[in-house]
Structure 1
Amino acid sequence: MTALDSAAKVNQRLLSPFPGVGLDPVWIGAGLREVGLEPATPLLPEQHQAAKALMDGRHPATGEPLVKAKVATHPRAKVAAEPLLKVLQQAAAERGTTVETMLCGVPRAGERFARLVRGVRRERDRHLLPIADAERLATCAAVDLALAYDRDLLQEARACRQARVVVRNRGFDLGIDVPKSVSVLYALAHTKLAAAVEDALATAVADVLAAVEGWAGYGLRGQHGGGRWAQRVPGTGLLGWVRWTVAAWPVAGHVGDLFLGAHLILANLVRGVDGRWSAVGAGGRDLYRHAHAAGALANARLRRLLSERHGIAWSRRPGTSAWEIAGVPEPLRILFSKRARQVSAAVAEALKSVEPDSRLSLKQRDRITLWIREYGEDAASPLENLHASWRQQARAIGCDPLSVTRSCRGAISSGLPARPAPADIATRRWQRAASRASSTPGPVPGRRHGLGAGRGPRRCGQRRRRRSADRAGIARQRRDRAASPRRQPPLQQPAIPACPRRHVALSSKTAHVPGTPEEA
């Protein structure tokens, strides 16, 4: 999931095609009716300005602001906080007192200084504070700002004192990825079966959107923080559109591997049942909390729909335990995973330049993925040509596309098993959690006969003491990792040859997104 905090990111999701885009974008979200738009309809090129207006927090028809834009001090009107902190501490030492004592007579000055200290402790020399706050603290402590900053720097910051910038998130990009075997089936299938897979994915995405609207489609009223709790107000639905993908970035001069999925572009905007507009789910934090659940729900609904409609059977993938279509052989999944192999090779090459015991962080792996993307002149490739290329690659390794699709369909002939009751699901999850926590202190949640009388308080006390010890051990490990320079090794950009990037031309077909999803 990605936050869209700039107009450039919004334009990229709206105007610039994703690699392998083959279906037209579609409006989604029940909240669209609040602004005169209809969900489950195509997002036409002449409606791009309306989509941008929603991301900016404005009404798409009238341009009226729906939410107040969150603004902050311009970066040029800020100065580094660490020099001022050193000057204040030096002045307090010379006077034989503390900075807090010097500021105690001014309302909120001590609180602002405490925030400054926390920011410097957390970010060191990267922590900035507005010039107005710096002048206020210096005046209250009777120190000269010229002792901490150059004259030119102070003059520039004071000239930009009133400048403000918009810092609100315009929206969010919630990505839905499907198993590789589903993409393989879609790539090798005939036109009718490929359309059925598209329809199943559209239905699953509609179900996920309905669930996300229930999880995070609300607004907050009042102040939240400082000992106060804001009031939660249900919303009338989210607003946005969905972009469909069918292929990934090209690798080694070949067309991109098949990569079926969807991107839910959701505006940071929701109208409450009280008629007021506000940000989504506490500023989007609830969307982040439920991003993994949304992806899991989408894949679960997709598996159910494909099994019910086409009799497709599923099996766990060894090593990852991910669900894959049983009829898709492993060599095909490996064949159409060129990007993953390229990233693995680049990671291995990057590790050659660092110490043997070093490991790469997730952020460093993302940087490597960006490095190896090939950029060049765009070469439009119709969706039909992509399917032909994928079938040709499958035949080259001895896999007949027709045989693969036949082996996938009709694998379930006796009907699907009955859906377990919620109590059974809860019991299974509780027992699984108990098995994972078997080595932890305290009572085991999954015991068959429960706990004996009188054992709760004693074991709870043991659990508290051991939990404190565990926290202390975790804190030591974190300090050791932070002090070790071998945990985050510097990377050298791998030398990977570039090749032209291919984009798939937009198809005239539009995926159907049902208005009323089935029960998940």
Structure 2
Amino acid sequence: MAHITPIKNTRQVRYWTRKDVGCPTSGVLARPVVWSGAGLARVGLSAGTAVDPEMASELLWGRHPITGRTLRRLRTVTHDHALLDATAFAQALRERAAAAGREPVELLRSQRSKDRWKRLENGLGKRKPEPLVPVKDLDRLAKDARLPLGELYPAGVLGFARRHRDARKNGAVLGHGHTFNFVKSLSALLAIAPPWMVKVIMEEVEAVGHEVVAAAEVFTGYGVTGEQGRGHLAARIEGEGLLAVMNPHAQARPTKGHPGDPSLHLHVTFVNAIWCRDSVWRSFGSSGQDLRRYNAVLGEFAKARLRARLHDRLGIRFERDPKTRESEAVGIPLKLREAWSKRSKAIRAKAGPGASAARRRVAAMQLAQVERRRQGRRVWDPAVLLDLWRTEARTTAGDLDQAVATTAPGRPRTRTAEPTMEEVLARLWLPRRAAVRRKGCERREVLAAVIATYPDNLRSLHQAQEMTDRIIAQVFTLLPVKSGTNWIETERYRVPPDLVATSKNPLHWNDPRRPSRGSTPATTAAVLRRAQLDRARPPLPLALPSPVQPEPRPGPAPRPVAADRTDQVQLDLGLDAAAPVPVVPPDRFGQLTIEDAIAEATAERPHKMTGDLELAEQVAAAEQALAQAEQAAADHELDALQRIADADAGLGDLAVALRRRRSALAAAAALKTEALVLLDRAADERRQAAAERKRAAGLQELHRRRWLPLGADRAKAARLLQDPGKPLDPEAAARITRKGLPKHIERLERSAKDRDDAAEVMKTTAKNLTEAARTEAGRVHDTVEAALLEARFTEREIEDQDGAARAADTAAARAKHDQDAAADAPKVADARQALKGLRTEVDLRARMTARQRVDEEQERRRAREEERAALGARPAPVQSRAVRARDQQAKHPGSGQSQPGVKR
């Protein structure tokens, strides 16, 4: 049995990327988590290597695990905080429409609102209504219908939704978590086997996991692009392989204080991304639909391949259990298998008798939560756990060594032969829903049933597919079913009556989960007993036509004019017998000869008036024209693909122009920044020059007053001579003399003049740099202010600019590709059609009789003579006298008659 779970949020990503995946692990039975899939080379990883949970999380979120670059943009939806229950609004609108005697849609004015109301009505009219609607849509509908929302919803609720109206959350499926469960007998063998055998079994489980991922690539290794629905079918593009994380486990979850029974299973996490042939990352398998459709096929394939591998390495034989219809290992007692099924028993007991699959899943979740609260994240010691299992097994089954020796005697000397078609058909069981479905059985259901019939000799998926094709060609009947999907296989087949009778739940089987009215416990027990007897009854042999020859798989049937809605049960009961087809008498052409029939069929041929040699030349010319058209289309395709690759690599026109513009603006910003720095320095120099002139004026004033050698004037002069920013020298005043004071004044004035000159030079340089910056920015038709603004961009903004440019280049390249393809396709089609017509003419002429060839040759001559006669009947052009005389002389060379105007 295989289970699949879509991964949509952060909690599920953490759950499926950690090592335990919600299951307890023990050191002896644990295996490392490894990568798998053929698409790992695109992200720099390799299959079989250990998995880093952070890398796996990055891949699931659509980012490169090493560089962090976005691989696939995820779809977002409106956040839950911005959703409102539309039931109140719908009721109010309907009441207003009923009061006005009109339909609700008539109260809406715009076509957009009308379409949104129809979708809302469809959502509310389902069996499980979907009343939550974005507040944006409700505001638009309410405004269009003139219906105030404030009267329908509490102010707090409406205000909260409007505050979060722009909030978004992830709405894409990030991946798919697959769990493959193996039979309980192998789990029991794993618990009681010696360590070397445990290692062999776990190695084979890991190898089977890689094969399952490869099989999933066969069925789902493609992506789709374009519009799907409303009469459109998206195009399917083949991919290069899937990305998966593989994690084998051997222990079930705890139950009622027990650490957990042995349970061999395999977790495979598929990343919802595939590298397609058009160099784009997309969702694989029609957004995972094909993966869910082939869930049963992959589950049966995993179990069949593990049986074959264990048989080849350990000699384990398998027999089908009549009750569960699973191939169990021979030698493991039934009591031991039942004793180690505590969790399934607890789930059935909590869910109740006759519970549905959904109810059982809920019960399993509740039990897991209870045990998690009771035991926490406790990890049992491997030696204690194995000892506990062996003690339980010894109490239930007795001698464990004898059971292991009987179950796994050793590698067999010869390999088991492939079963024949009769043996597969004798063991074939189909689900009841597939056997009696009105529109027939799908090929994937037959493939899963065929894989389940192989006991221990399935060598590859191709072997099972070939056997399925042979059985379908011999036993099943193809039904004309119209499909509007991109799935790999859409054919449906009529199930033969014998196989319907031997299906898992025959037609007379009553479902004990749905007892009829007035049923009692006694009748319910009787129904259960009858169902057990039906399941234990051996299958009926199918009558095969003879001789049995393998035939190729039939292609899809042509789509009928009207859909075939015949009930499959009526088909099985033989109620679909059609009226007898009238027989065409053998002398249909009794009064018509074969030659006349061929002439009648070739009466309207377009090349009827062409000879054999001319037709051969036309065929050669048509072939050359077709080759030229195809070569031109191929050249255009290669050029377009090169342009797309260059655009993806950032070598497109817009990306190159953006880099050129960014380089020019960076240079302009650097020049302008340097100019601003120089202007600041010039202003500083001018301020310092003004300060020095002021100090020189103060000293000049002191010198003019003829200050005394001693006193306060000397200290003031010392302060004026002290440069700003330097500590005051206490002995400077003592060194000042009246004769030396003019020298200090001259030094300060000279320094102020030098500073003014330097400031003027800086100002001129800054002006030149500004002009250079303006020139650099003008090269890309921009301003210096824009350069300064862009120089402050963050790395994220630059990355967004580059991404937008690459996206625009890619879109332009794809548009050019589509335009060239649209222009080349009609040319190739016309050339191919012309060549086809000519080759048809060649084939028709090859089947002509001799009489037809003679008649056609005569007709062609007659047509040419008529054409010449028609040309001869035209009026002759006016000729000169000399030309007429020369023509007369050429017709009668011996004539001696002289012609006027001609010299002899």
Give the alignment's TM-score, normalised by structure 2: 0.46
Are 2:379 and 1:380 aligned?
yes
- 2:350 aligned with 1:367: no
Segment of structure 1 superposing worse, 298-307 or 397-406: 397-406
Please state if 1:49 is matched with 2:54: yes
SS of equivalent residue, structure 1 residue 251: coil
Task: State yes or no: 1:7 paired with 2:5.
Answer: no
**Higher Cα Rg, which structure:** 2
> Bigger shift: 273-282 or 366-375?
366-375
Q: Output the CA distance in 1 between the equivalents of 2:161 and 2:260.
A: 49
How far does residue 413 in structure 1 lie from its aligned partner after superposition?
Answer: 6.3
User: Is the 2:177–2:269 contact (alpha carbons within 8 Å) kept by the matching residues of 1?
Assistant: yes
> Cα deviations across residues 448-496 of structure 1 (Å, max 9, x unaligned)?
679xxxxxxxxxx9x95656999xxxxxxxxxxxxxxxxxxxxxxxxxx
Please tell me the residue identity of whatever aligns with 1:185.
L
Q: Hey, what's the Cα distance between the residues in 2 that align with 1:432 and 1:196?
A: 41
**5 Å matches for 1:502-517?**
none
Deviations along 1:389-409, one digit per CA (max 9) or x if unpaired, are 222221122422211111012
* Structure with more contact order per residue of length (Cα contacts < 8 Å, sep ≥ 6): 1
- The 1:468/1:301 distance shift into structure 2, 3 A limit, reads closer
Q: CA deviation at 1:429?
A: 6.9
Matched, 1:395 2:458: no
Larger deviation, residues 263-272 vs 412-421:
412-421
Aligned equivalent of 1:102: 107
2:250 is paired with a residue whose SS is strand
Q: 1:428 to 1:276 in 2, by over 3 A?
A: same
Spell out the pairing of 1:288-327 with structure 2 (5 A cutoff).
Answer: 288-327=292-331
After superposition, give the CA deviation of every residue in 1:271-311 in whole Å (9 maximum; x if it has no partner).
11111011222221221111111110000111111122222
Is 1:258 the counterpart of 2:262 in the alignment?
yes
> Identity percentage over the alignment?
28
Residue aligned with 1:111, SS: helix
The answer on 1:416 being equivalent to 2:416 is yes
CA contact (8 A) 1:87 1:147 kept: no
Which residue of 2 is the match for residue 516 of structure 1?
none
- Matched-pair contact (CA < 8 Å) for 1:311–1:413: no
Cα distance between partner residues in 2 of 1:305 and 1:381:
30
Instruction: Give aligned pairs, total.
Output: 441
Instruction: Tell me how large the CA RMSD over aligned residues is.
Output: 2.8
Partner AA of 1:98 in structure 2: E
**How far, CA to CA, are the matches of 2:307 and 2:405 in structure 1?**
17
Query: Does 1:177 find its partner at 2:181?
Result: yes
Partner of 1:59: 64
* 1:40 pairs with one of 48, 64, 70: 48
What is residue 127 of structure 1 aligned with on the other side?
131
Q: Residues 91 and 143 of structure 1 are in contact (CA less than 8 Å); yes or no, is this contact kept in structure 2? A: no
Counterparts of 1:132 and 1:61, CA distance in 2:
39
Distance in 2 (CA, whole Å) between partners of 1:469 and 1:426 is: 20
Aligned to 1:196: 200
Question: Who is 2:34 aligned against?
Answer: 26
Per-residue CA shift, 1:372-398, capped at 9, x if unaligned? 331224333343443332222211224
What is the Cα deviation at residue 255 of structure 1?
Answer: 2.8
CA distance in 1, matches of 2:497, 2:208: 32
Q: SS of 2:125's equivalent?
A: helix
Question: CA separation in 2, counterparts of 1:468 and 1:94?
Answer: 49
**3-state secondary structure, aligned to 2:287:** coil
* Partner deviation per Cα, 1:249-280 (whole Å, 9 max, x = no partner): 22333331111111001111111111101122
C-alpha deviation, 1:90, in angstroms: 1.8
Distance change in 2, residues 1:59/1:414 (3 Å): closer
8 Å Cα contact 1:135/1:145 also seen in 2: yes
Structure 1 residues 332-347: aligned runs within 5 Å: 332-347=336-351
**Does 2:156 match 1:157?**
no
Deviation at 1:35, TM superposition (A): 0.9
Q: Which secondary structure does the structure 2 equivalent of 1:282 belong to? A: helix
Q: Distance in 1 between matches of 2:544 and 2:44?
A: 56
Which structure has more strand as a fraction of its residues?
Answer: 1
2:281 pairs with one of 273, 277, 283: 277
1:215 pairs, out of 219, 227, 239, with 219
Q: State the SS of the aligned residue for 2:11.
A: helix
Structure 1 spans left out of the alignment, 5+ residues = 352-358, 441-445, 451-460, 471-520
Spell out, residue by residue over 1:133-166, the C-alpha distance to the aligned partner (whole angstroms, 9 max, x if none): 1122222223222342233332222221211111
**Inter-partner Cα distance in structure 2 for 1:27 and 1:426:** 36
Q: For the Cα contact (< 8 Å) 2:40–2:243, is it kept in 1?
A: yes
Residues 223 and 190 of structure 1, relative CA distance in 2, 3 Å threshold: same
Q: Residues 82 and 124 of structure 1 are in contact (CA less than 8 Å); yes or no, is this contact kept in structure 2?
A: no
Which amino acid is 2:114 matched to?
G
Q: Deviations over 1:30-69 (max 9, x none)?
A: 21111111111112xxx22211111111111121111112
User: Do the aligned partners of residues 387 and 223 (structure 1) sit closer, same or farther apart at CA in structure 2, a change above 3 Å counting?
Assistant: same
CA contact (8 A) 2:474 2:545 kept: no
| 1:415 Cα deviation from its structure 2 partner | 4.1
| CA–CA separation in structure 1 for the residues paired with 2:85 and 2:566 | 42
Residue of structure 2 in register with 1:406 after alignment: 405
Q: In the superposition, relative to structure 1, how do residues 385 and 428 fare at CA in structure 2: closer, same or farther (>3 Å)?
A: farther
Q: Distance in 2 between matches of 1:334 and 1:315?
A: 17
1:108 counterpart SS class: helix
TM-score for the superposition, normalised by structure 1: 0.78
Give 2:57's aligned amino acid: K
What letter is aligned with 1:215? F
SS in 1 for 2:245: strand
**Contact 2:8/2:170 (CA < 8 Å) preserved in 1?**
no
Partner Cα separation in structure 2 for residue 428 and residue 307 of structure 1: 31
Partner residue, 1:166 = 170
Measure, in 1, the Cα distance between the counterparts of 2:326 and 2:470. 22
- Uncovered stretches (5+) of structure 2, i.e. residues with no partner: 421-465, 477-493, 508-541, 547-561, 572-904
Q: Is residue 205–residue 248 contact of structure 2 (8 Å, CA) maintained in 1?
A: no
User: Retained in 1: the 8 A contact 2:336–2:397?
Assistant: no
Does residue 225 (structure 1) correspond to residue 232 (structure 2)? The answer is: no
Aligned counterparts of 1:88 and 1:303: Cα–Cα separation in 2: 63
| 8 Å Cα contact 2:9/2:170 also seen in 1 | no
**Contact 1:81/1:125 (8 A) holds in 2:** no
2: CA distance between counterparts of 1:364 and 1:83?
A: 31
CA contact (8 A) 2:181 2:264 kept: yes
Q: Say yes or no: does 1:84 pair with 2:89.
A: yes
Q: What CA distance in whole angstroms lies between the structure 2 residues aligned with 1:326 and 1:414?
A: 19
Secondary structure class of the residue paired with 1:9: helix
Give the residue type in structure 1 aligned to 2:36.
Answer: I
User: Would the aligned equivalents of 1:234 and 1:272 in 2 still touch at CA under 8 Å?
Assistant: yes
Greater shift, 419-428 or 216-225, is seen at 419-428
Amino acid across the alignment from 2:40: L
Residue 139 (structure 1) aligned to one of 143, 149, 156: 143
CA distance, structure 2, for counterparts of residue 295 and residue 321 of structure 1: 14
Aligned amino acid, residue 155 of structure 1: G
Contact preservation (8 Å) 2:72, 2:281: yes
The residue number in structure 1 matching 2:669 is: none
Q: Which residue in the other structure is 1:68 paired with?
A: 73
For 1:312-354, what per-residue CA distance to the aligned partner results, in whole angstroms no more than 9, with x for missing partners?
Answer: 2111112111110111111111121121222233345xx6xxx
* Contact kept? 1:131, 1:157, Cα under 8 Å: yes
Q: Which residue matches 2:244?
A: 240
